[in-house]
Amino acid sequence: MKEYDIAVIGGGPGGYTAAIRASQLGLKATVIEKAELGGTCLNWGCIPTKSLLHAADVLRAVQTADELGIKTGKVNFDLSKMVQGSRQAAGRLNQGVGHLMKKYKIDVLQGEAEIKERGLVSVNGVELFADNIIVATGARARTLEGLVPDGNVVWHANDAMTPKKMPDRLLIIGAGAIGVEFASFYNTLGAKVTLVEVLEEILPNEDAEIAAAARASFERLGIKVLTGAQISQVSVGKKLKCQINAESFEFDNVISSVGVMGNIEGIGLENLGVETDRGFVSVNSQQQTNVAGVYAIGDVAGAPCLAHKASHEGVIAVETIAGLAPHALQVQRIPACTYSHPQVASIGLNEAACADRDVRIGRFPLLANGKAVAIGETDGMIKTIFDRNTGELLGAHMVGAGVSEMIQGYAVAMQMETTEVELMNTVFPHPTISESMQESVLDAWNRTLNY
Amino acid sequence: MPREIYLVKVGMTMTEGMVSEWFIADGAEVKKGEMLYALETEKVNLDVDAEADGTVKHLVEAGVTLEPGDVVGYIFAQGESIPDVLPGATSQPEVVVSAEPVAVESAAPMAVEAVVSEGFVKASPAAKRLAKELDVNYLTLQGTGPGGRIVEADVQSAASGQTASQQPAVAAIQSQSSANIKASPLAKRIAEQRAIDLSQVRGTGPGGRIVQSDVENLGASIAQASGPVAGDMVPVKGMRKTIAQRMHQSLQDSAQLTMDMAAVMEDAVKLREQLIREWDGAARPTFTDLVIKAAAKALQKHPLMNSQFGGTGIQLLNEIHVGIAVALPEGLVVPVVRHADQLSLKEIAIESARLATSARNGTLGLDDYAGGTFTISALGMFGVDSFTPIINQPQSGILGVNRILDGVAWEGETPVRQKQMNLSLTWDHRVLDGAPAAEFLQTVVEYLSEPYRLLV
């Protein structure tokens, strides 16, 4: 029987990162993956959608190139080639993970894992021994009753990433990051998109002011947004018929993106009595479950379901196993991004969460930013929230072009525990959209210079 | 000319001391032979008498540590004019610094040392050069650069007298030291707002950096994992300082180890009771007295244990003076029973009682401390059964006396109750090995088990 220090169940961004860290620390690790290395993120999530959204961004740029004096003639696009490009990107990265596993001498076992007892894992009937087991099985989309994906009218996210033909009318149920990204993509490509959210505002995890600004942009770009919406009388035939807020609609396709649930079944958690809570494995700050030697990381260990959170948790779990003192992951310092047009990015507390605190809030519209004006990306704003007494940066919320690449600035500031002073004293390059990050801080102290 | 009042030097090893109390107030009259001030040194407290009649003027306040021989005040003869500024006040500025004793103590030991070392003060090279040119003592400046760094402008303004930002050196250095602490800006600000001393906070961030949670959870988190919450700072001075230095040095400088051996105390207990009755108040022997006598006799038989380890060899000592450790509220003193081998048990009992009483009253003379060749330390009254005494250097051994307990002895197959006492011997392995040390201890044990031999 093969023996390992660590067996990682699931080869997504949490699992494979954990295995690499284990190897770096001299531990013998194996990754067990039932589908593809890289997991949902790399194969059917973050990566291919970024490829598609980039194609949409380019398409929009070409469509509006005339404003910059560029003559393009009639613009067409090849949907299958777009999809092909996204699959190639995923494929390349998937292979890259494979190479990393070889480089770090990590055994990759293809198959379904089941924990038989403590330290004993069965992979397709072949047993192996591992002192420690890291459960990194991820999560899957929740399905709504009566909307079971059929690959035809009712789309699974995978179907939505590999469309054979463009839908005329597309319904997207659930306006979280995933729903909003699909809405943005299909809207840019010309579909009539209806984005439906049961809650009062889209992007319910975001700051309400930012979400409202994003919604206004989306609506300006042609997306029909219905919030506080109730869907009823759903019938799926050749088309999807339903009532939204007592109004009748008909759609060619529907994507449901109403959250995810942890993949906790079929891996033998019940054999060991591993505790779960509402569909996710319960863990402590070192990613330990209630069973010694069993850890859980990433989506299966609970929200926020983000790849970068998963990889950090993987490192934490492995360093705990190695007897090191891993860094503490603070949920308040995990940034989140939505790659729609415009983009949304945030970190920390939003204004509603600060209701009972004495805070200063700074806002800066990209309309007043030189670079944004120069490149015609004035749609957006940057909002910062500080503790009035200590100057702690409690939250930062951005909507606008390219903000997903800027949020890390605030993430570093938070991790370094800077106050407003350091952010005010830092020299930002001109002209950049990132200057707005500083202006927003200045505005919190009524010192903004360019607005 | 007024007559100087000196800080009296008592004993060759005295390196520092202080006027712990002025008995004669500043400006009051004193008669020759009257008690003038209380001297406190590492070892002794002594009352110093006035050597002349006249008016007393204090030069230093009580509580300032000085070197022996330093002038602490003056006695002005009748009719002599008393100047506003006392002589000597300028001749020894480092002693006379009127920095309040509080500041000196709380800043110790870092700040005091920092006064000596120039390198500790953060100043830009340009500022240092300019200070030299303009003859400005930059050590006393308060820096306005990042982290309190002294920059050129500070020196310039000091020289031109624009800002009267001259601060006592100690204060400036104190702010420096807190600026050197690695802490996040947020943690620093919260600490400032809550008046938390960051030097007392243990950082849990990378490289021990103090982060927000360290400051916010101060108390809660510290109690858990980060170490204890700091309370008051007990100054290490006088007797405490001596004990700290001596004990640590002893452990560093020699090869100490400890062994225990039990003595049967049945007869010793009886003998002591008999002697108490016999001597009827003239002397009251303690068990420690019995051990002193037993040890003194054993030292005669085992001369290596009565020696000093030196660079060139082991110096055997011809006299046997046994020190006895006496615990006082302010520390520990070790008065010496001189020539313990030549004293009868009764004489030892009388002498040790005198020493103990004097020690508690603070009236031990210098001779009472001198010349110990071996030491006995008793913790039996606290119920201690074994400990590892630390050798009083440069001696070669120290004997720990433990409690007398109801032990068990076997008479055939029958267990019987027996009074026993453990003796804990620490010796210097550089001087003698385990076997001869055990032989010495065995001799002590034999004497205690057959205590009538101590009377002959």
| DSSP structure class, residue A328 | P
**A358 Cβ under 8 Å from any chain B Cβ:** no
Task: Say whether residue A333 is in contact with chain B using an 8 A CB cutoff.
Answer: no
Residue A234 is predicted with a pLDDT of 92
Residue B115 has pLDDT above 60, yes or no: no
- Mutate which of A333, A412, A417, A422 to disrupt the B interface (most B C-beta within 10 Å)? A417
pLDDT digits (tens, 9 = 90+) for A237-253: 999 999 999 899 999 99
- pLDDT at position B353 over 90: yes
- Asked if A389 lies within 8 A of B186 by C-beta distance, the reply is no
What CATH topology corresponds to A154-258? FAD/NAD(P)-binding domain (3.50.50)
CA distances from B352 to B67, B200, B307, B337, B357 (A): 32, 45, 22, 7, 9
The C-alpha of A17 sits at a distance from chain B's nearest C-alpha, in angstroms, of 21
pLDDT tops 50 at residue B168: no
Identify whether the C-beta of residue A241 lies closer than 8 Å to the C-beta of residue A233.
yes
Using the Cβ of A62 and the Cβ atoms of chain B, whether some distance falls under 8 Å is answered with: no
Give B184's contacts in chain A (Cβ within 8 Å).
Answer: 416-418
What pLDDT shows up at residue B219? 55
Residues of chain A with CATH 3.50.50.60: 2-140+261-330, 154-258
Question: What class, spelled out in words, does domain A2-140+261-330 have in CATH?
Answer: alpha beta
Show which of residues 387-416 on chain A sit within 8 Å of chain B, judged by CB atoms: 389-392, 416
C-alpha torsion angle, residues A418, A424, A428, A434 (rounded to 10)? 80
Q: Which residues of A fall within a CB distance of 8 Å from B190? A: 390
Mean pLDDT across the stretch A319-348?
A: 95
Percent of chain B with pLDDT over 70: 83
Instruction: List Cα–Cα distances, A81 to A55, A61, A84, A167, A182, in angstroms.
Output: 10, 18, 5, 17, 18
Residue B166 contacts A, CB cutoff 8 Å: no
Say whether residue A324 is in contact with chain B using an 8 A CB cutoff: no
Confidence bin at B228 (pLDDT 50/70/90): low
Is the alpha carbon torsion for A144, A146, A150, A153 positive or negative? negative
Question: What is the per-residue pLDDT for A183?
Answer: 98
Phi, psi (rounded to 5 degrees) for B71: -80, 130
Torsion region of A119: left, alpha or beta (phi above 0 gives left; psi -120 to 50 gives alpha): left
What's the confidence (pLDDT) of residue B207? 83
pLDDT at B170 over 50: no
B129: left (phi over 0), alpha (psi -120 to 50) or beta: alpha
Helix (H, G, I), strand (E, B) or coil at A376: coil
Domain with CATH 3.30.390.30 in chain A: 342-444
Determine the pLDDT at residue B143. 76
State the nearest Cα–Cα gap between B98 and chain A, in angstroms. 38
Q: d(Cα A387, Cα B238) in Å, to the nearest integer?
A: 49
Range with lowest mean pLDDT among A352-356, B73-77, B411-415: B73-77
- Shortest distance, CA B157 to any CA of chain A (angstroms): 26
- For B205, which residue in chain A has the nearest alpha carbon? A327
φ, ψ (nearest 5 deg) of residue A250: -135, 135
Q: What percent of chain A has pLDDT over 90?
A: 97
| Nearest residue in B to A419, CA atom | B186
Active site amino acids of A:
430
B146 contact A CB<8A: no
pLDDT-derived band at B99 (thresholds 50, 70, 90) equals very low
- Select from B186, B190, B206 the Cβ nearest to the Cβ of A418: B186
Is A167 strand, coil or helix? coil
Q: Using pLDDT thresholds of 50, 70 and 90, give the confidence band for residue B66.
A: confident
Angstroms from A209 CA to nearest CA on chain B: 27
Chain A residues in contact with B187 by the CB 8 A cut-off are 417
* Beta carbon pairs, A and B, within 8 Å: 26
Superfamily of domain A342-444: FAD/NAD-linked reductase, C-terminal dimerisation domain (3.30.390.30)
What tens digit of pLDDT does each residue of A262-282 get? 999 999 999 999 999 999 999
Confidence of residue B4 (pLDDT cuts 50, 70, 90): confident
pLDDT score for B89? 44
Contact B139, B121 (CB under 8 A): yes
Residue B125 has what pLDDT?
A: 67
Question: Mean pLDDT across chain B, nearest whole number?
Answer: 81
Given this model, what pLDDT does residue B231 score?
Answer: 76
A108, A33 contact by CB (below 8 A): yes
Residue B88's pLDDT is 59
* pLDDT per residue as tens digits for the range B295-338: 999 999 999 999 999 878 899 999 999 999 988 887 888 999 99
**Residues in chain A closer than 8 A to B185 (CB atoms):** 416-419, 421-422
Residue A417 and residue B186: Cβ atoms within 8 Å?
A: yes
Interface mutation target, options A390, A394, A416, A421, chain B, most CBs of B under 10 Å: A390
| A424-449 mean pLDDT | 96
Please state, as a whole number, how many other Cβ atoms lie within 10 Å of the Cβ of residue A113.
26
A211, pLDDT greater than 60: yes
Average pLDDT over residues B126-150: 73
Torsional class of B230: left (φ above 0), alpha (ψ -120 to 50), beta (otherwise): beta
Residues of chain A found within 8 Å of residue B202, distances taken between Cβ atoms: none
pLDDT in tens, A280-331: 999 999 999 999 999 999 999 999 999 999 999 999 999 999 999 888 899 9
Q: Mind giving me the DSSP string for A8-73?
A: EE--SHHHHHHHHHHHHTT--EEEEESS-TTHHHHHHSHHHHHHHHHHHHHHHHHHTGGGGT----
Q: Which residues of B touch A391 (CB under 8 A)?
A: 186, 189
Give A390's contacts in chain B (Cβ within 8 Å): 186, 189-190, 193
Contact B184 A417 (CB under 8 A): yes
- Residue B120: the pLDDT is 52
Instruction: Answer whether residue A203 shows pLDDT above 50.
Output: yes
Per the model's pLDDT, the better-predicted residue between B186 and B229 turns out to be B186
Chain B residues close to A392, C-beta within 8 Å: 186, 212
Does A286 lie at the interface with B, CB-CB under 8 angstroms? Answer: no
pLDDT given for residue A145 in this prediction: 86
Residue in B with minimal Cα distance to A416: B184
Q: Which domains does chain B have, with CATH numbers?
A: 3-99 (2.40.50.100), 110-226 (no CATH), 239-454 (3.30.559.10)
Q: For residue B450, which phi and psi values (nearest 5 degrees)?
A: -120, 70
Give residue A409's pLDDT: 98
pLDDT at B346: 93
- What mean pLDDT comes out for the span B400-413? 94
Q: What is the pLDDT of residue B12?
A: 65
B196: which chain A residues are within 8 Å (Cβ-Cβ)?
none
| pLDDT for position B178 | 52
Subunit contact B185:A418, Cβ cutoff 8 A = yes
Query: So what's the pLDDT on residue B146?
Result: 64
Partner-chain residue, chosen from A389, A418, A421, that has the shortest CB–CB distance to B193: A389
Confidence check: pLDDT of A368 > 90: yes
Average pLDDT value for chain A: 96
Beta-carbon contacts of residue B400 (< 8 Å; ≥ 6 apart): B258, B376, B377, B378, B379, B384, B386, B387, B388, B389, B423, B424, B425, B426
Residue A195 or B141, more confident: A195
Query: What does pTM read for this prediction?
Result: 0.59
Over residues A103-144, the pLDDT tens digits come to: 999 999 999 999 999 999 999 999 999 999 999 999 999 999
Q: What's chain B look like in SS3? A: CCEEEECCCCCCCCCCEEEEEECCCCCCEECCCCEEEEEEECCCEEEEECCCCEEEEECCCCCCEECCCCEEEEEECCCCCCCCCCCCCCCCHHHHCCCCHHHHHHHCCHHHHHHHCHHHCCECHHHHHHHHHHCCCHHHCCCCCHHHCECHHHHHHHHCCCCCCCCCHHHHHHHHHHHCCCECHHHHHHHHHCCCCHHHCCCCCHHHCECHHHHHCCCHHHHHHHCCCCCCCCCCCHHHHHHHHHHHHHHHHCCEEEEEEEEECHHHHHHHHHHHHHHCCCCCCCHHHHHHHHHHHHHHHCHHHCEEECCCCEEECCCCCEEECEEECCEEECCEECCCCCCCHHHHHHHHHHHHHHHHHCCCCHHHCCCCCEEEEECHHHCCCCCCCCCCCCCCEEEEEEEEEEEEEEECCEEEEEEEEEEEEEEECCCCCHHHHHHHHHHHHHHHHCHHHHCC
Instruction: Quote the minimal CA–CA distance from A26 to chain B in Å.
Output: 22
Q: Please, which pLDDT band fits residue B108 given cuts at 50, 70 and 90?
A: very low
- Cα separations in angstroms, A419 against A207, A412, B104, B146, B157: 21, 12, 34, 16, 31
- How confident is the model at residue A407, as a pLDDT? 98
pLDDT confidence of residue A258:
93
The mean pLDDT of A74-98, rounded to a whole number, is 96
Query: Which residues in chain B touch residue A418, judged by CB atoms under 8 angstroms apart?
Result: 184-186
B414: contact with A, CB 8 A cutoff: no
Q: What's the CA gap between B347 and B283, in Å, rounded?
A: 8
Nearest chain B Cα to A422, which residue? B185
What per-residue confidence (pLDDT) applies to B205?
Answer: 86
Which chain B residue has the Cα nearest residue A394? B186
For chain A, say whether B185 makes contact (Cβ under 8 Å). Answer: yes
Say if A426 is an interface residue toward chain B (CB within 8 Å): no
Distance from CA of B187 to the nearest CA of A (A): 7
A147: number of CA atoms within 13 Å, CB side?
25
A421 in contact with chain B, both atoms CB, cutoff 8 A: yes
